[in-house]
């Protein structure tokens, strides 16, 4: 422990001298994009429903028809747990022939700003009645809800945690300002000094910075919670530095000394591989002859490619569908050839970039060498086999092992002594929960819980027998810390609310 009685590097969320009734709501992986290579986030209807549920939880924190004054929520913390905006999934990089890892390029900041401007237009403004463009309105509906709650006397804090798809906000300050102002609805004068100081203490920045960096985590002893995006334990989305490697695990004191560079520098998974997938989608959509039979279907598949987990599965489906179309209708043979040519060009181009090799770990580099050799024969069956193998390797975590669970920071002894019992993350896009037990500390119940928030987005899932279906998925975690209740009352509790939506609208095409 350091002089403040905290584990090295840990910075707690600033608390007020007077304890209040609080509600903390967490969602993760919203992925608001500019929609140039598909729309990755949930629909407007889903967001309206979510914010209605949030408002209801604020007004009805208990299980009584009429909430007594001692139960009423006085403060709301809305935590957006990483990958809030997605600055990688955009065709603007390929169009400019600049890639997300080329931070020193003279056009880099301008491209980020162009992407952010479209994100604001699509997700932060009210949709015009006559508009047919993709739309989610997440930030618009969030601001409407927050304004209503503040007018009713509830103090609201919006806390954006940095993920691996929005980390460009950490390096382009103008884009970060646009994000704070237009997306979160916060001008520089609206941001409390306590918030700036908290971020500076955690991230190593300046306490007087007008638009602070996005924090890496939130730790709060009253809520008994530590929330972070989760990329810190993913070697493909964290960079090794002289003072830290991913196998060292959770070490905020080392990250602060290096100003969290492992999570703002370009990485293999989020920046390089994702950037090249966006290039493939854009390139194929540009080259496809729209007059050929089946071209419209393939273009719609391209729009949905990032709704598959892992994304490589979408490439497998696209190649399979174009080949099946070519076999059914000879006129579509050229269509399949176009898709296959774009795929091979993108793959070879990806392997030709130094950043692909430099950002990959040694074990990944070995696989890349094999992949490079196998792309030379240009055999369809080999291409499809390679993609299926890559999809198998990249399958998202469907569960968490006991070993990894026990290594999470909220469950370390020094953190447990502070009263932390709940570890929350996202990143994998797979909603999970798990409970663990340790030797009971002198006070309190011996319950410790891990919650993965999954992602708020539409997803393409395979039907049990054949075919695919599109559905909306989302999970929100509600944590109640009703400090003004008596010790014998239900002062602390949390629940996860999952939402899955199907319908003709989602399967309209």
Task: Please write the tens of the pLDDT for every residue from 441-489.
Answer: 656 678 899 999 999 988 888 888 988 888 888 999 999 998 887 665 6
- pLDDT at position 3 over 60: no
457-462 and 448-453 strand pairing:
unpaired
Give, to the nearest 10 degrees, the angle between helix 312-328 and helix 295-303: 170
Q: Enter the tokens of residue 408.
A: 């999470």
pLDDT value, residue 374: 72
pLDDT value, residue 1: 39
pLDDT digits (tens, 9 = 90+) for 87-97: 998 989 989 98
Are 75 and 154 in contact, with CB atoms under 8 Å apart? Answer: yes
Q: Which residue has the higher pLDDT, 309 or 235?
A: 235
pLDDT value, residue 390: 61
Are 419 and 443 in contact, with CB atoms under 8 Å apart? Answer: no
Strand intervals (E) in 119-273: 155-161, 217-220, 225-228
- Say which range, 101-105, 272-276, 323-327, has the weakest mean pLDDT: 272-276
Q: Which residue has the higher pLDDT, 355 or 395?
A: 355
pLDDT value, residue 322: 84
- Say which range, 23-32, 216-225, 315-324, 490-499, has the weakest mean pLDDT: 315-324
Can you tell me the mean pLDDT for 264-279? Answer: 79
- Backbone torsions φ then ψ of 374, nearest 5 degrees: -75, -15
The reply to whether the predicted model has a pTM over 0.85 is yes
- pLDDT at position 129 over 60: yes
Q: How far apart are alpha carbons 487 and 22 in whole angstroms? A: 16
Can you tell me the mean pLDDT for 336-342? Answer: 83
pLDDT value, residue 222: 92
Cβ burial 249-277 (10 Å sphere, 16+ → b, else e): ebbbebbbebebebbbbbbbbbbbbbbbb
Residues 6+ apart with CB under 8 A from 304: 38, 314, 460, 470
Q: Enter the tokens of residue 135.
A: 């739309």
Q: Which residue has the higher pLDDT, 190 or 336?
A: 190
With cut-offs at 50, 70 and 90, classify the pLDDT of residue 60: confident
Q: Which residue has the higher pLDDT, 47 or 272?
A: 47
Nearest to 336 by CA among 315, 317, 348, 319: 319
Q: Which residue has the higher pLDDT, 351 or 113?
A: 113
Gyration radius from the chain CA atoms: 23
Q: Which of 20-29, 319-328, 352-361 has the highest mean pLDDT?
A: 20-29
Cα Dmax for the chain: 76
Can you tell me the mean pLDDT for 98-105? Answer: 91
Strand intervals (E) in 28-145: 75-81
Q: Is the peptide bond before 310 cis (omega within 30 degrees of 0)?
A: yes
pLDDT value, residue 366: 77
- pLDDT at position 427 over 90: yes
Q: How far apart are alpha carbons 101 and 120 in whole angstroms? A: 23
pLDDT digits (tens, 9 = 90+) for 295-305: 888 888 887 77
Q: How far apart are alpha carbons 322 and 335 in whole angstroms? A: 7
SS3 of residue 462 by DSSP? strand
How is the chain split among helix, strand and coil, in percent rounded to 5?
Answer: 45, 15, 40
pLDDT value, residue 468: 82
Are 284 and 302 in contact, with CB atoms under 8 Å apart? Answer: yes
Angle at 350 between CA 344 and CA 355, to 5 degrees: 170
Q: How far apart are alpha carbons 201 and 329 in whole angstroms? A: 63
pLDDT digits (tens, 9 = 90+) for 7-38: 999 999 998 777 889 999 999 999 999 998 88
Q: Which residues pair with 500 in a beta bridge?
A: 473
Instruction: State the CB neighbour count (10 A cutoff) for residue 508.
Output: 8
Q: How far apart are alpha carbons 90 and 277 in whole angstroms? A: 10
- pLDDT at position 393 over 60: no
Can you tell me the mean pLDDT for 387-412? Answer: 78
Residues 6+ apart with CB under 8 A from 345: 283
With cut-offs at 50, 70 and 90, classify the pLDDT of residue 278: confident
DSSP string, 37-69: TB--S--HHHHHHHHHHHHHHHH--SSSSS--G
- Say which range, 117-126, 226-235, 275-284, has the weakest mean pLDDT: 275-284
Q: Is 429 exposed, middle or buried (0-12, 13-18, 19+ CB in 10 A)?
A: buried
Are 46 and 123 in contact, with CB atoms under 8 Å apart? Answer: no
468-482 and 21-27 strand pairing:
antiparallel
Q: Which residue has the higher pLDDT, 131 or 247?
A: 247
Can you tell me the mean pLDDT for 246-250? Answer: 92
pLDDT value, residue 458: 81
């Amino acid at each position: 422990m350091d002089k403040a009685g905290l584990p090295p590097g840990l910075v707690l969320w600033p608390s007020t001298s007077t304890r209040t009734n609080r509600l903390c709501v967490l969602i993760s992986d919203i992925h608001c994009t500019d929609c140039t290579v598909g729309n990755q986030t949930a629909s407007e209807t889903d967001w309206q429903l979510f914010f209605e549920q949030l408002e209801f939880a604020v007004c009805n924190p208990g299980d009584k028809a009429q909430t007594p004054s001692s139960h009423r929520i006085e403060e709301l913390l809305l935590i957006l747990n990483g990958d809030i905006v997605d600055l990688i999934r955009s065709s603007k990089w390929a169009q400019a022939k600049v890639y997300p890892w080329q931070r020193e390029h003279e056009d880099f900041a301008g491209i980020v700003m162009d992407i952010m401007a479209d994100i604001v237009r699509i997700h932060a403004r009210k949709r015009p009645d006559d508009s047919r463009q993709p739309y989610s309105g997440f930030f618009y509906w969030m601001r409407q809800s927050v304004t209503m709650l503040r007018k009713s006397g509830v103090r609201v804090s919006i806390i954006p945690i940095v993920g691996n798809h929005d980390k460009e906000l950490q390096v382009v300050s103008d884009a970060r300002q646009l994000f704070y102002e237009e997306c979160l609805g916060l001008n520089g004068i609206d941001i409390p000094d306590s918030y700036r100081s908290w971020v500076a203490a955690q991230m190593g920045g300046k306490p007087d910075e007008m638009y602070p960096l996005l924090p890496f985590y939130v730790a709060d002893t009253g809520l008994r919670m530590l929330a972070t995006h989760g990329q810190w334990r993913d070697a493909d989305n964290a960079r090794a530095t002289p003072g830290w490697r991913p196998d060292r695990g959770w070490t905020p004191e080392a990250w602060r000394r290096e100003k969290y560079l492992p999570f703002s520098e370009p990485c293999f998974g989020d920046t390089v591989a994702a950037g090249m997938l966006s290039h493939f989608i854009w390139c194929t959509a540009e080259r496809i002859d729209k007059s050929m039979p089946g071209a419209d279907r393939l273009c719609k598949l391209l729009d949905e490619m990032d709704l598959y987990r892992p994304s490589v599965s979408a490439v497998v489906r696209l190649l399979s569908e174009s080949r099946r179309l070519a076999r059914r209708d000879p006129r579509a043979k050229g269509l399949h050839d176009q898709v296959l040519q774009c795929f091979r060009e993108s793959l070879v181009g990806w392997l030709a970039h130094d950043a692909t090799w430099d950002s990959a770990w040694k074990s990944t580099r070995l696989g890349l060498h094999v992949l490079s050799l196998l792309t030379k024969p240009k055999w369809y069956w080999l291409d499809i086999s390679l993609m299926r193998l890559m999809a198998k390797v990249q399958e998202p975590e469907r569960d968490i092992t006991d070993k990894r669970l026990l290594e999470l920071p909220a469950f370390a002894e020094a953190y447990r002594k502070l009263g932390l019992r709940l570890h929350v993350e996202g990143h994998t896009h797979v909603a999970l929960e798990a409970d663990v037990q340790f030797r009971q500390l002198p006070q309190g119940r011996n319950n410790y819980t891990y919650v993965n928030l999954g992602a708020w987005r539409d997803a393409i899932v395979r039907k049990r027998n054949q075919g695919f279906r599109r559905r909306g998925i989302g999970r929100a975690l509600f944590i109640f810390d009703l400090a003004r209740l008596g010790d014998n009352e239900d002062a602390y509790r949390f629940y996860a609310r999952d939402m899955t939506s199907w319908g003709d609208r989602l399967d309209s095409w």
